[in-house]
Structure 1
């Protein structure tokens, strides 16, 4: 009896300071500093850090759950901050608080913590005991080579990262403080030995012993003095691989996406990355130049990732900071470190710029740019960052500040509204730019070396749509008709007669009433070629304005890429390949041979893909029901009676629509055996040929409505812009007339709730 009382009392007083945890990647700024177990409560002590002024909230559905236990124990109370209310982070940027849960069963040795909602904080494998540790606790961290600062080996709860692979512990033997560890990876075994000496790790693999340190900053790091050089564009691929620290399948996340910008066609591709059961991932990615890419997932969102054609980067994510291995490790560490010198942060400068005039704003940003450059030069003189990192950062400072200067008409009105607490829909007009405003732009922005800078793609976009320059200009038939001869335009006898009249009598695109019908017929017959030519003329006129207003030369990488994006973006986004003659004409002024060849090859690939897509199936081109326009929606839904219907109003030219369709594709595959239909509705603004080419890539039911029919539905669902999604239940009732942007798992729950 005394033993039983003692056991209960012992459990009631159990305290674990800084418990070992497994996966803590959903928010690494949330730390458990203590767990206290009593016979009446389980108390978790937290320390959370965030930017002052940001807010956190502990929701009612916060829980803990014993590993391998079925029941969740939901929160009872909170000490230190309000419960289920927004708590604004103090100036210190840190909050300490306690969460109180029901008591655990005595046999529970490992628990999970989480919030039962999408995007909620989650921490897995919180250890209440350390009985199952194969190695001393001090081993479980990342270890860096003392002589060069490279990540050599990392010991985690169930795995070891070594040689850019993820290994399982097969056997651990010890003799004194020396451990012999046998590792297993896909049938391959590796034996290593390691021992701790004065806080450092002496490690031996197949070669001589290496001294490893837990703090990378204390390592000697050789500085690479080589720089990037021509060619900056090449046809190659990069390998992105890595490990999610202490990954567990209980996360329910099996994939991630890597967002890769294509500077030639101005698109962004989401590359699917599959996560293996042990948390390892590997993906080979077509890549044409050194660039920054962006990891997007439920686990972690990382921006400090830089890839180079022909090289591999191995990355450990899910901890406080990402860790790197491979040829690009040092460069990624350096560029990540250089984020600290950034001077322009919108939230910190908005009070200063809110009332600035254009040249005042430009002068202020120039001052910040000079400070940032001086800091970069100082860091480089310390001989601690590579020449490549210095080269990339120097270029990016130039381009990012140029972008910010060209965004005066966005940034200053937004700052003014924020500082004066005006509503978002309040209209604030920015002051007009003076004539000399763009003097900061010169021909050094036209050099191919700028491809190294992450901000160059944005710079191209800002130049394409520079304020007060990108305006409609006139053209006339005498200009269009001769240029049409350089495309696939093949006039028949009627066309030639019309041409003769226009060349003799017309100076503009205005047509007298006697020839209006003939003109309309001609324009419809040759609309594709006419559209290409008018875009070509407007582009050439814009280049002339750029040169006179800013001084950017007619030739160079900047003009090549603007042309490339304007010509190839519709080809890629709308799956509308261009005939070879027309493409050769449109690209005749592009100097860079790689860009030109890439577009030709891409055009050929799109042509082939359109043919393949039409054979794949999974899409259905439906005729619009023959009813009055105001009955169209009900008539369409009647075809899917007894099913949940997700209706997506979209258009072939709508980039957010296409992005959303791509994002939701995995969900459609996940729900393919369920009673759900995805219905896509567009109107005549989606060109018929483009529509016919694109719909085979979008699995679902498709409808292309007439203008009147679309306007009825736009009024019915208050469609002010697209994309616009509507959810209909099995009974045909609209349960959500406008689904806001949500992630796939939340959309899945919404759909399944209406089965």
Structure 2
């Protein structure tokens, strides 16, 4: 018997829909119902039929609890019957697959969401929540992802029960109807409306009828090699060194707020500072998400959700659209629109580095000599590059993606090559079960010969386009502070102290030299003057690396400059900036430095307009009285105290996450947010940050901070304390949960 065409399936759908409402493959969130999915919900005036199917790999015993309820708002409708299995009894499912239907009393034809719950159950309960029942149900033959048939495998259309993805936007349905041979779908996204005209064809084909053209689509990505236009949209200096806002939007298919999270994060490396900023991704209840953030050049950024962590390429003025699917056994993802081919290739090749067994690697290198260690990592690097080349040969890749993937492999594994002593200690620590917090090596350092560093010949230096790679910033930071540089800095201190002690110096200066010497011997941070630090670093790196690297060295020097600007929160004057032009001869490094300086100046001006924060002075009291003195100002109020620092990434992320809650509660005069930091937060950076953090701010002394950390057992930050009705509740650190914190703040019982 021939398969029904897509058009015939649609005709049957229209006919059935007139008699009853059918929702195929509805989205839902399940708890303790693994291997079970809902294939169909049928709503009529006599019953609500829910068809399930199992998908186990082999013979499986399955039990559906008796007395299940369908929950529709305040309604609790008890199950009436089930076919193919018996409720409350275990059934052996041969082959692991079976289809059965549960019969519940009818619900309103306009019901949008239902739950199925096991009554009087406290743990290991059978619950299926948020079963979506959209009023416009998509025919099963239309549902899914559709890709271009030109060999590009470009994802063009996503048709789901409650949403449709097209043109890098997520649309809601307004209507779905047949017009002769075509299917018309009405769509809405905010104020934007669109009617999509589709024409069905044989062999799982679908055609999008646009103004003067027709785009043919397959309902799955065809196997085989992707056809790509070589060098199409390749990175150029002109399109990389652009500043502006990047946009990240998309859809998480299978998401439910019951999963316990509603945010993600974007981590944005900044090569001119050597640092990283993070930005919040807000996830709506329907699974849509969005974020926008500034980029000072085209770059890969790490994007983190509880189910995914991957590097995605963002460009100023461009939008990245990504769809995740959580409904299968593994999370899958597709990109649409700007840089879609690039990001799809990068996403599908991340396994190359993720597949390295680092526990095995450290076991292997435990007793290696430098020569053996070097050979091992060079082989590992080449092995990963071979996997990439083979993937490209079999699947095809854009030039951009291939080059970035090569850079990622080279930068990541080369870092291990020049960290011989540190990695030998990690291997030793792992083999001997030494606490990971113990980072000070107990092994004598091995001096590496200059010939050891010949592996650098395979690394790209002096390439302004390399900055696009997310791993370039990490590579430069590790190179800038590598073992050879640190050793040279220590030796510089030893020599300086020795020279100074030969001459007559004041007793106080001699004592200071002793402190410097002790710090150097203990590998503590050594504070050198900027020109000394730069001189040592430049000389060491030029001795290690036999290649032109003026771009890389100037970028490291720029990081020294931006670090000083950030600490003081005072931008360079036009005269100072012009003077630096003579040193920063690379135009791209200078443009990044100039852009950073302008950004600081703009922040200072914007901060002048900020309200809702207060910078408080610390009273002159004994350190052990400082906390009681601070909270006494807010007697009778609920006080949320956040111990934080300007350099603490998790602190800043948590501050961003709680900001919407603070806005919601801003009119409640009985709730106060207090922020306490210490002297490790540079005063300039502190003054620059707090205007954007609504609340009461205190910067305490080292002694006062020591007292507070002892009083509240602060072993790390962020750390939180809640004061209510005079009762102090030491919350310590807890992952942010909007509703939990809101309830704690509004709870009038003081619990």
TM-score by length of 2: 0.73
Match for residue 314 of structure 2? 307
CA distance in 1, matches of 2:354, 2:252: 32
Match for residue 448 of structure 2? 435
Match for residue 603 of structure 2? 609
Match for residue 592 of structure 2? 598
Give the C-alpha shift of residue 142 in structure 1.
Answer: 0.7
Give the C-alpha shift of residue 169 in structure 1.
Answer: 2.8
1:579-728 correspondence to structure 2 within 5 Å: 579-582=573-576, 588-654=582-648, 657-674=651-668, 675-721=670-716, 723-728=717-722
Checking the alignment, whether the CA contact within 8 Å between 2:568 and 2:684 is kept in structure 1 is no
1:235 to 219, 242, 249: 242
Does residue 405 of structure 2 align to residue 393 of structure 1? yes
Checking the alignment, whether the CA contact within 8 Å between 2:462 and 2:552 is kept in structure 1 is yes
CA distance in 1, matches of 2:77, 2:698: 46
CA distance in 2, matches of 1:324, 1:457: 25
Match for residue 145 of structure 1? 148
Checking the alignment, whether the CA contact within 8 Å between 1:443 and 1:551 is kept in structure 2 is no
Match for residue 278 of structure 2? 270
Change (3 A) 1:249 1:659: closer
1:465 to 478, 481, 485: 481
CA distance in 1, matches of 2:484, 2:391: 39
Checking the alignment, whether the CA contact within 8 Å between 2:170 and 2:250 is kept in structure 1 is yes
CA distance in 2, matches of 1:31, 1:379: 32
Q: Which moved more, 1:286-295 or 1:144-153?
A: 286-295
CA distance in 1, matches of 2:442, 2:56: 40
CA distance in 2, matches of 1:444, 1:244: 38
CA distance in 1, matches of 2:364, 2:76: 53
Match for residue 348 of structure 2? 337
CA distance in 2, matches of 1:121, 1:566: 58
Q: 1:595 aligns to what SS in structure 2?
A: helix
Q: 2:565 aligns to what SS in structure 1?
A: helix
Give the C-alpha shift of residue 282 in structure 1.
Answer: 5.9
CA distance in 1, matches of 2:588, 2:458: 21
Q: 2:704 aligns to what SS in structure 1?
A: helix
1:513-524 correspondence to structure 2 within 5 Å: none
Checking the alignment, whether the CA contact within 8 Å between 1:111 and 1:125 is kept in structure 2 is yes
1:180 to 167, 184, 192: 184
CA distance in 2, matches of 1:455, 1:64: 52
Give the C-alpha shift of residue 456 in structure 1.
Answer: 0.8
Change (3 A) 1:309 1:732: same
Does residue 324 of structure 2 align to residue 317 of structure 1? yes
Q: Which moved more, 1:448-457 or 1:105-114?
A: 105-114
CA distance in 2, matches of 1:78, 1:566: 70
Give the C-alpha shift of residue 435 in structure 1.
Answer: 0.8
Over the residues paired in the alignment, what is the CA RMSD in angstroms?
4.9
Unaligned runs of 5+ in 1: 1-17, 50-62, 81-95, 480-504, 518-530
2:266 to 247, 258, 267: 258
Change (3 A) 1:612 1:551: same
Checking the alignment, whether the CA contact within 8 Å between 1:630 and 1:709 is kept in structure 2 is yes
Change (3 A) 1:551 1:696: same
Change (3 A) 1:141 1:532: same
Checking the alignment, whether the CA contact within 8 Å between 1:403 and 1:462 is kept in structure 2 is yes
Checking the alignment, whether the CA contact within 8 Å between 1:146 and 1:211 is kept in structure 2 is yes
Unaligned runs of 5+ in 2: 1-22, 42-46, 58-67, 79-86, 512-525
Q: 1:353 aligns to what SS in structure 2?
A: helix
Match for residue 20 of structure 1? 25
Match for residue 13 of structure 2? none
CA distance in 2, matches of 1:410, 1:750: 45
CA distance in 1, matches of 2:651, 2:261: 25
CA distance in 2, matches of 1:410, 1:48: 46
1:90-489 correspondence to structure 2 within 5 Å: 107=107, 111-112=114-115, 125-126=130-131, 134-147=137-150, 148-174=152-178, 178-185=182-189, 186-218=191-223, 221-226=226-231, 227-231=234-238, 233-237=240-244, 239-245=246-252, 256-273=264-281, 285-297=293-305, 301-309=308-316, 311-319=318-326, 320-342=331-353, 345-347=356-358, 349-350=360-361, 352-353=363-364, 355-357=366-368, 359=370, 360-382=372-394, 384-407=396-419, 413-414=425-426, 424=436, 429=442, 432-436=445-449, 437-442=452-457, 444-448=459-463, 449-471=465-487, 472=489
Q: 1:701 aligns to what SS in structure 2?
A: strand
CA distance in 2, matches of 1:295, 1:77: 44
